[in-house]
Chain A
Amino acid sequence: MKRWLLSMVNLVHILLINVSKVLLIGMLLIVFANVILRYVFNSGIMWSEEVALLFEVWFIFLSLGLGVKHRLHMSINLLQRESIPSWLNRTLDTLADIVFIIVGAVMIVYGIRLTQFTMRSIMPATRWPAGVLYLVLPFSGVLVVVESLLHIAGWNMFDEEIDKYLSGKGGSLKDIFRSRP
């Protein structure tokens, strides 16, 4: 059960990293294509800005959630890890996790409400419902909450191995998922 859960969480993480990469390249290509079309063929893409911005919002909030796993978010290290006792480090880490969970929960609850609320308004160029924009909030909130809970539980999530794999520095997914948590 534990192993299954860990594999699922890690698989979702890797999947969403890839989704983020696609969004990043998507934004780039949309803006680039629009420039080329405008100056070479004299006709821009009407929906380019709206879709690029939608990708941007999704990209940013997915990365906000994904960043929790590898502790990527910047903090100021006036209380340096090496110079304070380990119980204090644990307490501060747990405090950060609790803050993550509260913020994540707000993103889930109010993100869902905001999405429902704006589903009926329409974005001008694409005619898509505006709620699509906010739909990423609950997703991101779930990522934040799940990663923080697992961090509090102190399970070995194979974060380093996953990071190494994603950086293209070797290791295979099979080995990561086979090893015992």
Chain B
Amino acid sequence: MNDPGIATALLMGGFVLLMLLRVPITFSLALASIATATYLNIPLMAIVQQMVQGVRSFSLLAIPFFIIAGEMMGRGGIARKLIELANVLVGRVRGGLAMVNVVESMFFGGISGSAVADVASTGTIMIPLMKEAGYDDDFSVGITVTSATQGIIIPPSHNMIIYSVAAGGVSVGRLFLAGFVPGLLLGVSLMAISYILAIKRNYPRGSKYTLKQAVKIFGDAFLGLMTAVIIMGGVISGVFTATESAAVAAVYAFIITFFVYREIPLKEFKGILYSTLKTLTMVMALIASASAFSWLMAYLRIPAKATELLLGVTDNRILLLLLINVLLLFLGMIMDMAPLILIVTPILYPVIVGKLGISPIHFGIMLMLNLAIGLCTPPVGSALFVGCAVGRIPIERATRAMLPMYAVMFIVLMLITYIPEITMFVPNLIMPGG
């Protein structure tokens, strides 16, 4: 009594049903795996072993280090310093504060890979500031939320590490490098739409700085931005692995936050550790149960069947990529990032990399951008929710104001999907091969 068709339905259907019934995703994955293994007479010992082996990975160790570094910098007031720096750089343009918002998120993304953290710490400063200067509140929330997603694409990004592990060990260094240009492209496009809207709605210019002020602001932010330099420098030069550079960056962030910037006392470190723990619980436990789940998916040859199914719909490369993007955008609307990466990567990897011959690096960036858009869309969009909570406006109003930004993000997604050079140029130049 072990029909693979029934087992597949049990695994996938059980998971989706439990998840829709509001059972946490980690446990939905685990129970669906347990039920399927029982049906297939696979010893449950293998399932629990798979859960442990799935997280016993040196690459994954980078995630706690990146998150703790970002948390310390965030609480230590880095956002305000980066906002001032961005203000010096782009504040004078019409719609200056919107530009500042985007550029700040670019910098912030170089330190922390969490869009939600960016919305929370940047939004609390920028949204009231923009409202005061005469920007519409829904526009202010919209630009804060959409620009924060740059953090996922601009390295370092812990979601890229999750992808690297889910894809079976894609080079984290190359992934990081590949994120630069797409991240910048997204930022510049968001600035362009802000500029157009700013002229139409007559949003003001920002304030002027003297050279002396500018130098001081740059010096202040410089030490924080060094975190990004350490990480990227270490990974690119091959001196550190991504995990090691994350550890060095975390120690560096500790020293900068508590002994140089000193905006918060050392005793707050305990609270920072606790909130890091809470964030990590959500991400890491999920990887454990997802690895048992994807092991069973591979056992049941679900990725191969999905490939056949997709190729059965169309074997036109352009249409297939469009179809996959639409599918990912839809899934991104209802699910959070980390679980989607863990479940979707093993299923789509054979089609995209095996059949279409697309580089795993290119696919990784495509996936990140798709899911980044998902973070800004209802009904489930954590960045959007935090942004609306900070800006105190209803979600429906924010999404209506964000329509032009969604359009921009979609155009960027299409460019990145169909022009691989945008993504692949930098990694091929700096870290060829692999």
Interface residues of A (CB under 8 A from B): 17, 20-21, 24-25, 27-28, 31-32, 34-35, 39, 49, 52-53, 56-57, 59-61, 63-64, 66-67, 70-79, 92, 95-96, 99-100, 102-103, 106-107, 109-111, 113-114, 117, 133-134, 137, 166-169
Query: Cα distance A107–B27 when bound, in Å?
Result: 12
| B20-57 interface code vs A (CB 8 A; 1 in, 0 out) | 11111111101100100000000011011101100111
Which of B103-111, B246-254, B314-322 touches A?
Answer: B246-254
Chain B proximity of A167: nearest CB distance (Å): 5
Kindly provide the distance from the CB of A139 to the nearest chain B CB, expressed in whole angstroms: 13
A76–B22 contact, CB under 8 A? yes
For chain B residues 99-129, which have a beta carbon within 8 Å of chain A?
A: none
A27-B65, A31-B65 known, 15 other contacts, Cβ within 8 Å: A24-B276, A25-B273, A32-B247, A32-B250, A56-B61, A63-B277, A66-B281, A71-B24, A74-B25, A74-B338, A75-B25, A78-B334, A117-B45, A134-B49, A137-B52
Q: Given A31-B244, A74-B282, A75-B24, A53–B271 Cβ distance below 8 Å?
A: no
Question: Can you pick out 6 interface pairs between chain A and chain B where the beta carbons lie within 8 Å of each other?
Answer: A60-B287, A75-B23, A75-B25, A76-B25, A78-B20, A96-B22
Most B CB within 10 A of own CB, among A71, A78, A79, A117? A78
- In the complex, which of the residues B31, B268, B281, B336 contacts A99, with contact meaning CB atoms closer than 8 Å? B31
> Closest chain B residue to A108 by CB distance?
B48
- Across the interface, do B60 and A56 meet the contact criterion of CB distance under 8 Å? yes
**Minimum CB–CB distance for A50 against chain B, Å:** 10
**Given A35-B244, A72-B281, A73-B26, A24 and B68 contact (CB-CB distance below 8 Å):** yes
Contact among B52, B239, B248, B281 for A67, CB-based, below 8 A: B281
Q: Chain B interface mostly helix, strand, loop or mixed? A: helix
Within 8 A of A (CB), among B245-289: 247-248, 250-251, 267-268, 270-271, 273-278, 280-282, 284-288
Q: Among the listed B30, B277, B281, which residue makes an inter-chain contact with A21, where contact means beta carbons less than 8 Å apart?
A: B277
How far does the alpha carbon of A169 sit from the alpha carbon of B344 in the complex, in Å? 39
On chain B, the residues within 8 Å of A34 by CB distance are 244
Does the CB pair A60–B55 fall under 8 Å?
Answer: yes
Min distance, Cβ A172 to any Cβ of chain B, angstroms: 15
Residue of B nearest to A105 (CB): B34
Give Cα distance in the complex from A161 to B286, angstroms: 26
* B400 → A minimal CB distance (Å): 20
- The minimal Cβ–Cβ distance linking A41 to chain B, given in whole angstroms, is 15
CB distance A64 to B24 under 8 Å?
Answer: no
- Residue B352 lies at the interface, judged by CB distance under 8 Å to chain A: no
B240 interface contact, C-beta 8 A: yes
A167 touches B271 (CB 8 A): yes
Whether A96 contacts B23 by the Cβ 8 Å rule is yes
Question: Would A169 and B271 be within 8 Å (CB), given that A76-B336, A106-B44, A106-B48 are in contact?
Answer: yes
Q: How far apart sit A110 and B287, CA to CA, in the bound complex (Å)?
A: 19
Give Cα A102 to B287, complex, Å: 19
In the complex, how many angstroms separate the beta carbon of B213 from the nearest chain A beta carbon?
Answer: 35
User: Most A CB atoms within 10 A — which of B21, B271, B287?
Assistant: B21
- CB-CB nearest 8 A-B residue pairs: A73-B24, A168-B271, A64-B285, A67-B281, A31-B247, A63-B281, A75-B24, A60-B284
User: In the complex, which residues of chain B have a beta carbon less than 8 angstroms from the beta carbon of A24?
Assistant: 64, 68, 273, 276-277, 280
The answer to whether B339 has its CB under 8 Å from any CB of chain A is yes
What CA separation (Å) do A111 and B251 show in the bound complex? 35
Check: B379 CB closer than 8 A to any chain A CB: yes
Closest to B249 in A: A32
Q: Tell yes or no: B335 within 8 A of A by CB.
A: yes
Residues of B within 8 A of A67 (CB): 278, 281-282, 285
B377 part of interface (Cβ distance < 8 Å): no
Residue of A whose beta carbon sits closest to that of B270: A168
| B48 near A78: Cβ-Cβ < 8 Å | no
Q: Could you tell me if A76 and B380 are in contact, using CB atoms closer than 8 angstroms?
A: yes
Contact B22 A63 (CB under 8 A): no
A73 touches B61 (CB 8 A): no
Residue of A nearest to B25 (CB): A74
Whether A92 touches B21, Cβ cut-off 8 Å, given contacts A63-B277, A103-B31, A106-B48, is yes
B269 to chain A, nearest CB (A): 9
Interface core residue of B18, B51, B250, B281 (most chain A CB under 10 Å): B281
Q: How far apart sit A171 and B356, CA to CA, in the bound complex (Å)?
A: 58
B330 at the interface (CB under 8 A from A): no
User: Contact between A103 and B27 (Cβ–Cβ < 8 Å)?
Assistant: yes
Cβ of B418 within 8 Å of any chain A Cβ, yes or no, is: no
User: Which residue of chain A lies nearest to B279 when distances are taken between CB atoms in the complex?
Assistant: A72
B19 at the interface (CB under 8 A from A): yes
Chain B stretch 60-79: residues in CB contact (< 8 A) with chain A: 60-61, 64-65, 68
- Residues in chain A near residue B49, CB distance under 8 A: 114, 134
Q: Is the CB–CB distance between B240 and A35 below 8 Å?
A: yes
Give the contacting residue for B27; candidates A96, A113, A117, A137; CB below 8 A.
Answer: A96
Residues of the B chain whose Cβ atoms lie less than 8 Å from the Cβ of A102: 31, 34
